[in-house]
Structure 1
Amino acid sequence: MIAKIAANTLFLSFSQISARLLGFIYFIFLARYLGVATFGIYNFTLAFIYNFIPVADFGLERLVLRDISREPEKISFYLARLLPLRFLLSLIAYFGALLLGIFLGQSLQQIFYLGIFGLFIFPYSFTYLLSSFLNAREKMEYMSFAVIAGQLLIFILGVIFVLLKLPLSVIFLTGFLGQSVVTLVFLFKAGSWGLPLGWIIDKKFISKSLSQSWAFAFLLILAVIYLRISLILVGLLKGDYYTGLYGSAFKFIEAIILVPQSLALALFPLSARLFLEDKEKLKRVYRKGLGILLLFSLPFALFLIIGSKLIIGLTYGQSYMAAAPVLAILSVSLILFFVNVLPGNIIQNSPQFKRFLPWALVNFLITLILCLFLIPRFSIIGAAWAVVGGEFAGLIINNLFVWKILKK
């Protein structure tokens, strides 16, 4: 069992690190070619659309992980009924993003950018729904392939489009094109991977699934918006230039936290089983996981704190040097990000899961209030401290709830 967890963590960590490395190189490439203000538009558009990915998922991936890891014989039944539901949710997510952009008074050009980049939601949703079934069977290598292949294609297409001096709207299209190729691979290989495709509109099943998954969705939507709320509010309150600066620093944090997220995902099927079978063993796994994540976080955080000026200067250039103190502050939050990923495994497998939702909302509101208070006064420095404050609040809230669950 330990060997399987280690292998899955290795697969996911390798794929996430490889994809993030490619994405980061691409990010730096765009930052240098686009300039700070245009790079700010790029950052804002990505952050805005990424907030709607969990709307397209609506907790279904976690539902699949939980149910199929316990009853793998139900793959065919679930998959045929979840495909049409996932497509409908993707439509809602796509048009929801456009409507929110209009409601917030974004320019027609910005709405156009949102529409172009948002197309990637459709192939992405299909691919990762199939991946969730494979993850539930602890076959993480397929998701690893999807992560690396998708990012590699986006990287290649993006570099070509930029060097050809094509407009920003075409650069945004790389997400849709890259993910579509990966989706086609999954579509043609699904049968041989033990994923029989089907299309059954089962209203009773849909109603039951949504009634079970809405809590996962609520938590995931909050978590995704929470992660990017500081960047979005910098864009809304301070404009494109400061969004470009803040986004350049925040990208380091966003890239690195996928390492602990990979461990948490690899442990999720085991946590689901142990919660029912052996809660004492689950306590030990949780404690060890927290310790490992804390130790893993320290070298990353210290490196970024000590070398923030050098790192920003070497990666982005002198025009981004104002982001160096932001990176140093955000590095403190990195330690908290690491240890805060694991409580979700316990909470989401607990019958008390829905009772946690108000506390998750409180954590989000604390971060939102900190952002609204600090960003107008201290600009991007204030945004960074708001993230630290939100993560510290999350550390307290999450673990108080987890230990309450594990004591029962």
Structure 2
Amino acid sequence: MIAKLKKITAEIGFKRYFKNTVWVFGGKVLQIISAIFIGAWVARYLGPDQLGILSYSQSLIALFLALSTLGLNGILVRELVNRPEKKNVLLGTSLILQTCGSIFLMLLLVYFVYSFEENELTRKIIIILGSATFFDSFTVITLYFQSTVESKFTVRINIAVLLISAFVKIFLILSKAPLIFFVILILAESILTTIGLIWLYTNKGLTLFNWSFSKKIAKKLLKDSWPLILSGIIVSIYMKVDQIMIKEMMNTAYVGQYSAAVRLSEAWYFIPSVISTSLFPAIVNAKKRSEELYYERLQKLYDLMTLFSISIALPMTFLSGWLIKILYGEAYFLSGDVLSLHIWAGVFVFLGVSREGWILSENLQRYTMVYLGLGMICNILLNLFLIPGYGIIGAAAATLIAQAVSVLIAPALFKSTRISFVMMIKSLTFYSIFSRITLNKEIK
């Protein structure tokens, strides 16, 4: 068995994918570390009110960000893998489409801020942050290297920009710079990343001047991506509408308190993606051998996600107040209670991410938008009822319940996906884990 494992790991293909995964994972970890520590220092410096203005502006842009990316990312990678000889026209067409999407997004933002937003500073921040989407269109270069399993190069660019940004943020804090400087820095990060990606692409002997636009390919890409645009908007509303509603129903200081907790709560969300990506090929291969083995492995994945998420949520529940005080300071005294509740939404996020592979494997993607739509509607309605009475604690409760509806309850409504509901219940009640332990004892 050991000899076989060594043979597999010695293969060039395996080493290539493994190294690529390690680089991507390492980049994510560094981003999380920076977000927690440097981000907390920035939040402590800005205070709840200014952080609230920044978080509200970012959430507003995120609501319609899918109009800028046009849901093309996954589709572009697929096309680049399947038709590498068409890379110049695929990349050029995608860049033009996303740039047009960014223009449309900016027009919406300008209309919104000058029609509904009275605060001049907030207006400026939204416009500056929105303009970053033009430069983000060049992430098509990142997708090219992703398709060639060379993400380590783009990760290095991201790490370099991350380090530069971290040092500049520290300088701005020590210099007592105003909020607008931190906003400009976010735009500068996008510009630096774009410059780095273009340099990387040309350094590989390639050139952007060979890129071209094809109306035929544009129609095909948009035909494939429009469901993803819609689902992307739904996801954004689902995930960010709480901060928008807190600002409109309360004020930006409460948005700052809430977003400080959410940033810590969501910092763990990259874990299920990494685990599922690594383990799901083995689950799919099991289906070729038997349906029983396939679902047995899927159940084990759900069990693993449940244990991981609860092992994070449980200590965070009791340490949330202390952690918020250490990282953010006394000014964020309300964030601890929000974190202790919001962290449990991660249990459903972990399970939901692990289910995505099964949805694709069973060709049940049509249900995903229904789940997300139900979660979005639930979140909006609950926020309307809970925020007036319970403030940002109510918003956290709304998020938790909406996640439970989207991930756990919604699959029970349809016969084709009901098995997912049953398996998740077995994981959440530890029934499958205890059954496996009992069975192993009986065998021994």
Instruction: Tell me what 2:167 maps to.
Output: 156
Instruction: Tell me what 1:395 maps to.
Output: 407
Instruction: Tell me what 2:150 maps to.
Output: 139
Q: Contact 1:275–1:350 at 8 Å: present in 2 too?
A: no
Q: TM-score, normalised by structure 1?
A: 0.86
Q: Which residue identity does 1:404 align to in structure 2?
A: S
Instruction: Tell me what 1:124 maps to.
Output: 136
Q: Which residue identity does 1:176 align to in structure 2?
A: L
Q: Contact 2:305–2:351 at 8 Å: present in 1 too?
A: yes
| Structure 1 range deviating more: 287-296 or 47-56 | 287-296
User: Residues 327-367 of structure 1, C-alpha deviation per residue, up to 9 Å, x if partnerless?
Assistant: 11011111111121233345467765345424421221111
Instruction: Mark the CA change 1:60 to 1:402 in structure 2 (over 3 Å): closer, same or farther.
Output: farther
Instruction: Mark the CA change 1:396 to 1:406 in structure 2 (over 3 Å): closer, same or farther.
Output: closer
Instruction: Mark the CA change 1:195 to 1:283 in structure 2 (over 3 Å): closer, same or farther.
Output: farther
Instruction: Mark the CA change 1:53 to 1:279 in structure 2 (over 3 Å): closer, same or farther.
Output: farther
Whether 1:53 aligns to 2:65 is yes
| Structure 1 range deviating more: 186-195 or 233-242 | 186-195
1:36 aligned counterpart, secondary structure:
helix
CA distance in 2, matches of 1:157, 1:49: 24
Q: CA RMSD in A?
A: 3.4
Whether 1:186 aligns to 2:197 is yes
CA distance in 2, matches of 1:6, 1:402: 37
Instruction: Mark the CA change 1:290 to 1:171 in structure 2 (over 3 Å): closer, same or farther.
Output: same
Instruction: Mark the CA change 1:70 to 1:344 in structure 2 (over 3 Å): closer, same or farther.
Output: farther
Matches within 5 A, 1:365-380: 365-380=377-392
| Structure 1 range deviating more: 284-293 or 322-331 | 284-293
CA distance in 1, matches of 2:200, 2:238: 35
Instruction: Tell me what 1:176 maps to.
Output: 187
Instruction: Tell me what 1:364 maps to.
Output: 376
CA distance in 2, matches of 1:398, 1:133: 36
Matches within 5 A, 1:5-404: 7-127=19-139, 129-193=140-204, 197=208, 198-263=210-275, 286-287=298-299, 289-347=301-359, 353-354=365-366, 356-396=368-408, 399=411, 404=416
CA distance in 2, matches of 1:293, 1:196: 43
* Structure of higher CA gyration radius: 2
| Structure 1 range deviating more: 396-405 or 303-312 | 396-405
Alpha-carbon offset, residue 153 of structure 1 = 2.8
Instruction: Mark the CA change 1:122 to 1:288 in structure 2 (over 3 Å): closer, same or farther.
Output: farther
| Structure 1 range deviating more: 201-210 or 344-353 | 344-353
Alpha-carbon offset, residue 82 of structure 1 = 1.2
Q: TM-score, normalised by structure 2?
A: 0.80
CA distance in 2, matches of 1:335, 1:194: 45
1:256 aligned counterpart, secondary structure:
coil
Alpha-carbon offset, residue 57 of structure 1 = 1.0
Q: Percent identity?
A: 22
Alpha-carbon offset, residue 212 of structure 1 = 0.8
Alpha-carbon offset, residue 34 of structure 1 = 1.6
User: Residues 256-286 of structure 1, C-alpha deviation per residue, up to 9 Å, x if partnerless?
Assistant: 212323445678999999999x999986775
Instruction: Mark the CA change 1:401 to 1:207 in structure 2 (over 3 Å): closer, same or farther.
Output: farther
Q: Contact 1:19–1:152 at 8 Å: present in 2 too?
A: no
Alpha-carbon offset, residue 405 of structure 1 = 7.2
Alpha-carbon offset, residue 299 of structure 1 = 2.3
CA distance in 2, matches of 1:101, 1:403: 45
The unaligned stretches of length 5 or more in structure 2 are 1-12, 420-444
Q: Which residue identity does 2:221 align to in structure 1?
A: S
Q: Contact 1:60–1:213 at 8 Å: present in 2 too?
A: yes
CA distance in 1, matches of 2:167, 2:65: 23
Q: How many residues align?
A: 406
CA distance in 2, matches of 1:384, 1:144: 33
Q: Which residue identity does 1:339 align to in structure 2?
A: L
CA distance in 1, matches of 2:296, 2:207: 37
